[in-house]
Amino acid sequence: MVKTVFADENIQNVLYAVSVKEGYTPGFIIGQPSEKKDVAIHAVVITRLQDDFSSTQCCVNEFGQIEENWLKVHLKNVSRSLSGGMYVLGLFIVGPKDIFADKLNLQKVRSLINTIHSISKSNIYIFGSNQPKNLIVLYFSSQSKKFLCKSFDVLNMSMSMSPANWKFIKQPTSWYRIDCQYNLDTLLPYFSEKKIFLKMCKFQILEYFKKNIDDCKFFINSITNKRNTSLEEIRDIKIIRSGLQEKKQKRLDTEGHKYFNIFKAMIYKWGTNENDVNLLEIGNAQGKINFDGFISSKVFLHKSATLEEAITAVKEDLLRSFAARLDIHCDSLQEDSSTNESMTHFLPRRVVVKHEASGILFTDYMFPDDTKEDIVNSVKEQLGIDVTPELVIALESDHQAKLKESWSDCLNKQRKETQKADLVPSNKPSAFLIYSLFGASIVMIISIAIHFLV
C-alpha cells in the first residue's frame, strides 16, 4: 500500500525559500503519523554549530557532504519542542539534481534515514516509543520546483524504498486538543552508600517517572474503557449529553477549534490498598529525591485518532516534557559536586508558541533568568518559526517543577531516632498510639460528613 502524506501549504513556502540557495539543503519534516495517512505540519532547515557557537543553516555543494552529526544535535532539539504524538516524519532535501537517481546519493539517503531511526531508538524518553515505522524523504528540485517523495521501511534492514503520495493542502488540518496536568508529588529512594548526583541518576529518575505514568489510569472526557473509540465519537457523546440540537452540532463542526474540540484528560494515581500493606517491603534508604509541582500538557491529534492513541500521546508528552527539562537543567549545571546534604533543583518551566499555519503549539523551556526575547530567538533557531514576545505563553508558574535531593545517611538518622525512642520510658503498649490515631481519624471523617449533611 502506497503511503500518503497530506502537507500543510506552509511547508511549500519553506521549500521555495530554501531553493534560492545553491547546492543541497537538508531539513526535517514534522507531523503526525497514522495508519491511513501522515499529516505534515511544518518543515525546518537543519542547522549546525559554528566555531563561535552560533548556528547556521546547513547547505553543501554536493549531497554526499551532508554529515550525520548535523542531524543528531538538531533532531534532539526539535523533538524536545514537539507535543506528544508529534514526530520527525523524515527529511526534505532541496537541490539541483534528483537524489534518488544516483546510486551513491541513494546510499547516502539511506544512511541519513538510518541515523534518524538510530537516534530515535536510543532515547524513548525524548523521542517516544511509538515512532513512525516508515520515514519519508521529500526531494524538491531547486531548478524545476517539482517534488518527489519516497518512503523507507526502517524496520527492514535493507531499508526498502517505496513511492509515496505527497499532497499539499490549502485547508489546514482539523485537530483535537487534549489538556491535562500531572502532579509530580512522589519520592524516589536510593540505596547506594555512595552519594549520587543528579547527572548520574538522570535515566534512573526518568525510568521511575515513566513507570509512575504507566501505572496511572487515564480518562479522556471521563471515558477510559473504550480504547478503540474515536475521539470524534467521544466528542459526539459529549454533545448529546449536553442536550444540543442537531442544527447546533453542524454549526460546531464548521467553526473549528471551539470548546467541543478540546478534551480534558484526568489522571488517577493508584494508591496502596489496605490488603497490600503486608506485601510491602521495608528497606533502609541512603538517600532520596522528592518530585514536586506539576507538568502541564497540551497534545493535538487528528480527527480519526482513537482513545488509545490519545492516551498514548498524553503519556508521551508528559515523559518528553520531563525528560527535556532534566536534559536542559543538567546541561546548565556548572558543577555537580556540592557537599550539601540536600539540594533543590528548579527545573525550567514550559512555555508554548503557536504555529500560525496549523494552530499547533510548539514547546520551549524557560529558566527564571530567561526573557521572552530569549524564547523568540530559540524558537527561530530551532524551528524556524517567527513569533513575537507577546505570543510566548507560559503554561506553568516559576519554579513549578522541582526535584529535591536528600543524600544524607537516612539509615543513621533512623538508628538515632530509634535509640532516642528507646530512652523514653513508657508504660503503655506500643499499639496504643496506632489505635488512638485510627479512632481519631474515624471521628474526624464522621464530623466532616455530618457537617456537609446538615
Using alpha carbons, select from 108, 97, 110 the residue that is nearest to residue 158: 110
User: Does one domain contain both 258 and 149?
Assistant: no
Q: In 3D, which of 95, 88, 76, 112 has the Cα closest to residue 15?
A: 95
Domain boundary among 405, 425, 447: 405
Burial of 328 (0-12, 13-18, 19+ CB in 10 A): middle
337 versus 266: the higher-pLDDT residue is 266
Asked if residues 230 and 306 have their Cβ atoms less than 8 Å apart, the reply is yes
Distance CA 319, CA 161 (A): 32
pLDDT digits (tens, 9 = 90+) for 333-375: 765 545 556 777 788 899 999 988 888 999 999 988 899 999 9
Instruction: Compute, in degrees rounded to 10, the torsion defined by CA atoms 122, 128, 129, 130.
Output: -130
Looking at the structure, tell me whether residues 145 and 181 fall in a common domain. no
Shared domain for 99 and 165, answered yes or no, is yes
Q: Is the pLDDT of residue 449 over 80?
A: no
Q: What is the pLDDT of residue 277?
A: 60
In degrees rounded to 5, what are phi and psi of residue 315?
Answer: -60, -45
Given a contact cutoff of 8 angstroms between Cβ atoms, the answer to whether 182 and 315 are in contact is no
Closest CA to 110 of 129, 124, 91, 88: 91
Whole-Å CA distances, 8 to 16, 38, 136, 311: 14, 11, 16, 25
Same domain, 383 and 400: yes
Least confident span in 48-62, 188-202, 354-368: 188-202
Tell me: pLDDT of 328 over 60. yes
For residue 241, being part of any structural domain is answered with yes
Instruction: Please indicate whether residue 310 or residue 194 has the higher confidence score (pLDDT).
Output: 310
Is the pLDDT reported for residue 275 higher than 70? no
Please count the CA atoms within 13 angstroms of the CA of 422 that sit on its side-chain side.
6
pLDDT at 11 (0 to 100): 94
For residue 379, what pLDDT is reported?
94
Compute the distance between CA of residue 204 and CA of residue 277 in angstroms, rounded to an integer: 25
438 found inside a domain: no
C-alpha dihedral sign at 309, 314, 315, 320: positive
What torsion, rounded to 10 degrees, do the Cα atoms 279, 282, 287, 292 define? 40
- Whole-number pLDDT of residue 260: 45
Q: What is the pLDDT of residue 17?
A: 94
3-class SS at 66? coil
Work out how many domains the chain is built from and give that number. Answer: 2
pLDDT value at residue 401: 67
C-alpha cell at 231: 475521539
Residue 179: the pLDDT is 94
> In terms of domains, do 182 and 115 share one?
no
Q: Which of 383, 392, 387 is nearest to 14 (CA)?
A: 383
Residue 424 maps to a domain? no
Mean pLDDT on 413-431: 39
Point out which residues pair with 91 in neighbouring strands: 28, 137
> How many Å apart are CA 89 and CA 40, to the nearest integer?
8
In a domain, 34, yes or no: yes
321 occurs within a structural domain: yes
User: Are 104 and 179 contained in the same domain?
Assistant: no
What sign results for the dihedral spanned by CA atoms 383, 385, 389, 395? Answer: negative
Q: What is the pLDDT of residue 271?
A: 66
pLDDT of 164 higher than 80 = yes
The answer on pLDDT for 426 being more than 50 is: no
- What confidence category does residue 255 fall into, taking pLDDT thresholds of 50, 70 and 90? very low
Quick one: pLDDT at residue 125?
A: 94
Rounded Cα distance between 216 and 222, Å, is 14
**Domain endpoint, select from 112, 139, 169:** 169
In the prediction, which pLDDT does 201 show? 80
Cell of 130: 511509538
Strand partners, 29: 43, 90
Regarding whether 325 and 293 lie in a shared domain, the answer is yes
Q: Is the pLDDT of residue 453 over 80?
A: no
Q: What is the pLDDT of residue 193?
A: 61
Of 139, 169, 199, the residue at which a domain comes to its end is 169
Contacts of 409 (CB under 8 A, 6+ apart): 286
Quick one: pLDDT at residue 243? 53
Q: How confident is the model at residue 230 (pLDDT cuts 50, 70, 90)?
A: confident
Lowest model confidence (mean pLDDT) among 20-24, 163-167, 229-233: 229-233
Look at residue 262 and tell me whether its pLDDT is greater than 70. yes
Instruction: Report which of residues 409 and 265 the model is more confident about.
Output: 265
Rg (C-alpha) for the chain, rounded Å, is 26
* Mean pLDDT rounded to a whole number for the chain: 80
Find the range with the poorest average confidence among 101-110, 260-269, 337-346: 337-346
Rounded Cα distance between 337 and 90, Å, is 41
Q: Does residue 405 or residue 221 have the better pLDDT?
A: 221
- Report the C-alpha gap between 277 and 124 in whole angstroms: 33
* Residue 84 and residue 58 in one domain: yes
* Burial readout 106-139 (b: 16 or more C-beta within 10 A, e: otherwise): bebbeebbbbbbebbeeebbbbbebbbebbbbbb
Buried b (16+ CB within 10 A) or exposed e, 267-277: beeeeeeeeee
Q: Are residues 215 and 350 in the same domain?
A: yes
pLDDT the model gives residue 368: 85
The residue among 134 and 171 whose pLDDT is bigger is: 134
For 288, residues 6+ apart whose C-beta sits below 8 A from its C-beta are 187, 188, 189, 190, 405, 406, 410
Least confident of 66-75, 167-176, 193-202, 308-317: 193-202
Q: What is the per-residue pLDDT for 39?
A: 94
Q: 412 lies in a domain? A: no
In which domain, by residue range, is 141 found? 3-169
Considering the domain architecture, whether residues 201 and 156 belong to the same structural domain is answered as no
Most confident of 191-200, 365-374, 428-437: 365-374
pLDDT at position 295 over 60: yes
Q: 103-107, 257-261, 344-348, 394-398 — which is least confidently predicted?
A: 257-261
Question: 48 and 22: one domain?
Answer: yes
| 247 shares a domain with 112 | no
- Please tell me the distance from the alpha carbon of residue 361 to that of residue 387, in angstroms, as a whole number: 12
Decide: 328 and 365 in contact? Cβ < 8 Å: yes
* 231-240, Cβ contacts within 8 angstroms, sequence gap of 24 or more: 231/176, 231/263, 231/301, 231/303, 231/305, 231/306, 231/307, 231/310, 232/303, 232/304, 234/263, 234/307, 235/176, 235/260, 235/261, 235/263
Question: What CATH number should be reported for the domain holding residue 8?
Answer: 3.40.140.10
Whether 420 is covered by a domain: the verdict is no
pLDDT attached to residue 258: 39
Please spell the DSSP secondary structure of 402-438, one letter per residue.
Answer: EEEEE-S-HHHHHHHHHHHHHTS---S-THHHHHHHH
Q: Is the pLDDT of residue 439 over 90?
A: no
Task: Decide if pLDDT at 410 tops 70.
Answer: no
Inside any domain, residue 233: yes
pLDDT above 90 for 79: yes
